[in-house]
């Protein structure tokens, strides 16, 4: 139940970065950093729950997509932390071009990670009561 929050925040940060790049209205830059920060906080909570599942069940660790899913999510969180530092700069350079690039890469990583997570549930039946 925690996973949708960071995903939504990181996608929202990409959208607000794009809007800022088109408008140069500082409101959107501030909105981006708040979304990234909220995504990091909620992502940390989701990571704790995910690590408990991953480390607590040998059958989950045996599934190859589970390890890739975890590694991609960790990568997304590290890049988002870096993105928060980039966004903390003043003015235009806080977003353009590094901030938009990092936000886009994080969203792309989350897309692949989400696909792997879906395969864990629907194909490998992880977390499904039988």
CB 113 within 8 A of CB 76: yes
Output the pTM of the full model.
0.93
pLDDT digits (tens, 9 = 90+) for 68-87: 999 999 999 999 999 999 99
Residue 128: its pLDDT value, please?
Answer: 67
**54-63, 64-73, 78-87, 120-129: segment of lowest average pLDDT:** 120-129
Separation between Cα atoms, residue 72 and residue 35, nearest integer Å:
20
pLDDT digits (tens, 9 = 90+) for 14-50: 999 999 999 999 999 999 999 999 999 999 999 999 9
Alpha helices in 4-63 (DSSP H): 4-23, 26-56, 58-61
């Amino acid at each position: 139940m925690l996973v949708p929050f960071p995903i939504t925040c990181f996608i929202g940060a990409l959208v607000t970065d794009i809007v800022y790049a088109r408008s140069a209205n500082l409101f959107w830059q501030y909105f981006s950093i708040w979304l990234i920060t909220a995504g990091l906080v909620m992502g940390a909570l989701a990571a704790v729950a995910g690590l408990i599942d991953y480390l607590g069940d040998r059958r989950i660790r045996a599934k190859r997509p589970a390890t890739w899913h975890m590694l991609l999510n960790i990568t997304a969180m590290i890049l988002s932390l870096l993105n928060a530092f980039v966004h903390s700069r003043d003015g235009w350079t806080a977003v353009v071009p590094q901030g938009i690039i990092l936000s886009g890469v994080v969203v792309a990583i989350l897309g692949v990670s989400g696909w792997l997570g879906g395969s864990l549930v629907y194909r490998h039946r992880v977390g499904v009561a039988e």
